[in-house]
Structure formats: structure tokens, C-alpha cells
Amino acid sequence: MNWLLQWLLVATAVALGWGLGYWQARHKNASSRPRNPAAVRYPKAVHYLFDAYDAPTLDSFVHALAINRETIPIHLSIGHHYRSRGEIEKATALHQNLLANPDVRVHWGEQVNYELAEDYLAAGLYDRAEAILLELSRNSQWKGRATTKLLEIYEHEKDWEIARDHALSLDYRKDRSLQVRLAHYSCEIAERAYRRGDWNEARGQLKAALGYDSRSVRASLATARLCLARDMHVEALAELKRVEQQDPAYLSEILGLLDEALTGMKQRGKLGRYFERYWQVAPSAMMMVAWAQYKAEEESREAAIDFLLQQLDEHPTLRGISTMVMLLYPLADAEHQRWIHILNGVVESIIERTPQYLCSHCGFTGRQLHWQCPSCKQWSTVKPQPWI
């Protein structure tokens, strides 16, 4: 049966080789090499072709498969298959074997080296991957892809200055994702500056971040915190006001800072106006609770309870229930207070185990705000879940 599988694999590979050759011929320029090797793509089905064969059959096929221009696409597809299955050593050996062939180095050297760099990245060998990618980044046709991979390395190593320098070497003005990355790199550099006590450097880096990305909520929040640390309440308020236009999903994150800024300006009475405005833009459980607490402090406990009763009817949420329970606590007798305390403890324990943030890219959930998703590594995709 094994020989039959091998025979089927060879037959399929021959057909695949012919099909890829035909496909390439239709997308070729007059020259013998692709004008932009970095843009070479193969049908997605190629990457899944070998899933139907067991590892020994595929391995024996690879050893028997000749290396020439016609079979390079098959080798690369098998290498991709190995890497996607976590068989990094096999993928690395395959690509290194290809590079040992002079004809491959001449006509497919950049592509194979890029695949080898991907192998090293998957294996955590960042220094080896970096060396290959730096070389590829000097090639105008490969600069974009190689530099993007380099950014992943420098982000992992937290080399924010180097990452920013490489990102600036690309045309970031036409690339929204690069603008977002550059803003976060500057924010990371600003945080380091602030931790070592260099306030001016931190402020300058945050200003640069907003220059790269005027919609950077992180830069506005960080600038507001810097200003509050210096009792610059008016400036802090101006930064916080930006968030509504930048991304209303983060409005719940500014409420504590907004309270601090207005209190410092001796204008805390205006906080209610902001609650009213922001509630129309992006209502959330956190905002409901903060507004209720404000009403309890500035108006009365009864006003806060009435507000929560009205809102919980439309937006039932555990945070709102917990706040309501604690507002009712002083109004109850000793026996009821004991039960209220127990009930609130149960509700709070549930809240503490419930993720408050969600990545819109990969679905990662967590209890704290990450500006870079720990799972998919995308920037600015983790946002507060409004009704948790």
C-alpha cells in the first residue's frame, strides 16, 4: 500500500509541476525571471496538497525529487507544509539543501532565503533570521516583505528604536498599519523615558507618536497621564478630549483621568456633562458604574439608584448590579446587609473571572488592556468589551 501512495504522490506532483509551470508562464514577463520575485504567489491549494500523505511517504518523495527550475515550486510548497505542521527541522533542512544548488541560488535565491528566514523565526532563532532579512531588505524587490518580518523580530526583542528606524525606511505615509506601528514604537520609547525620569523626552516621543498616527488613543492617554503628573490639568483634559474622535470604544478608559483633570481644575461639576455626551456615543458598563457613583457623590444615593434601575432594565450587566447592591447596602437592616454582602461577593467573584477586553482580530480575551495583542501580535486591536 505504501508504494501505491508514493506512486499517487509522484503522479500528483508531476501534474502539479505542469500546472504551476503553466500558471507561471501566464504571469511571466518577457524576461526569464519574474519582475518582482517578492510578489510571486501560488494557488492556496498547493499549500494543502500534501496533507493527505503520511510523513514517511512525503519524506521519501522529497529525497527522490530532483532539484531543478521545474520542481522548485514543489519543494517550496513542501517546505511550507513542514513549517505549518511544526516540523521546523525538516523545513530548514529542505531550504538549506535547495540553497546548496547553484542554479537555485541564481534564480530562486531570494525566495528560498526568505523561506529559510521564516523557518528560523518559527524556531526562535531570531539572530539567524535577522541576518538573512537584513540582506534581503537591501533588495528593492524584497524590501517590504523583509522589513515587515524584521519588525516582528525587533518587537519581540523590544528594540523599539531599531524597529522605528526600519519602519521609517518604508513608505509609511501610504500604509495605515505602519503608521499605527510607528505610533506604538514611539509610545514604548516614551514609557522608557518616563520611567527613567526624563519627562521632556517622554513628552517629545508622545508628540511624535501623534504625528505618525493622529488617531493613537494610547499616545493621548499617555500624554494625559504625563500632564496630570505635572498638575497640568488643562493640557490633560485637552488630550483626553481627543479620544472621542480617535476611537470611542476607549472612552471608558479615560473616565478616571477625566475626573482627576476636572477635579484639579476645580470643575468636577462638569463631569456629568461628559457622562451625558459619552453615553450617547459609546455607552458601557464601566461608564454606567462611574456615572452612578458620580451621581451618588454629587447628587444623592437615591438619584444614583434611580439611574441604575433605569439603565439596568435596558442594559443588564453584572457591574451595574454590583454597584446597585452596594448603594442599597446602607439602607438595609443588619440581617439584609449580611445577605447583600454575600450576594455582592458572589457577583464580584464572577466579574473578576470575566475577561474585560477582546481582540477584534483573533478573539483573544483578557483582564487587562494590551496595546499589542499577546496572541496575534496585532496593534490596537484589543479593546474594552462594553457590557462586561
Q: What is the Cα–Cα distance from 24 to 73, expressed in whole angstroms?
A: 10
In the chain, pLDDT over 90 holds for what percent of residues?
A: 75
Mean pLDDT check: name the lowest of 75-89, 144-158, 273-287: 75-89
- What is the structure's pLDDT at 59? 82
Q: Indicate if 199-282 has the same CATH topology as 2-157.
A: yes
* Residue 48 banded pLDDT, cuts 50, 70, 90: low
Would you place residue 285 in the very low, low, confident or very high pLDDT band (cuts 50, 70, 90)? Answer: very high
Cα(303)–Cα(285) distance, integer angstroms: 18
Mean pLDDT of the region 103-119: 96
Query: What is the DSSP annotation of 96-158?
Result: HHHHTSHHHHHHHHHHHHHHHHHHHHHHT-HHHHHHHHHHHTTSTTTHHHHHHHHHHHHHHHT
231: left (phi over 0), alpha (psi -120 to 50) or beta: left
Q: What is the pLDDT of residue 196?
A: 96
Burial of 154 (0-12, 13-18, 19+ CB in 10 A): buried
3-state SS of 51-78 is HHCCHHHHHHHHHHCCCCCCCHHHHHHH
What CATH code would you report for 2-157? 1.25.40
Q: Which of 18-22, 277-281, 357-361 has the least mean pLDDT?
A: 18-22
Query: pTM of the full predicted structure?
Result: 0.86
Q: What share of the chain is helix, strand, coil (3-state, %, to 5)?
A: 75, 5, 25
Arithmetic mean of pLDDT over the chain: 89
Mean pLDDT lowest among 18-22, 118-122, 273-277: 18-22
Span 221-249, pLDDT tens digits: 999 999 999 999 999 999 999 999 999 99
> So what's the pLDDT on residue 12?
52
What's the CATH class of domain 199-282?
A: mainly alpha
Q: In whole angstroms, what is the distance from residue 327 CA to residue 47 CA?
A: 60
- What is the crossing angle of helices 176-195 and 199-212, to 10°? 170
342-353: pLDDT as tens digits: 988 999 999 999
* Residue ranges of domains in the chain: 2-157, 199-282
Decide: 172 and 178 in contact? Cβ < 8 Å: yes
Which of 35-49, 75-89, 371-385 tops mean pLDDT? 371-385
pLDDT for the residue 343: 87
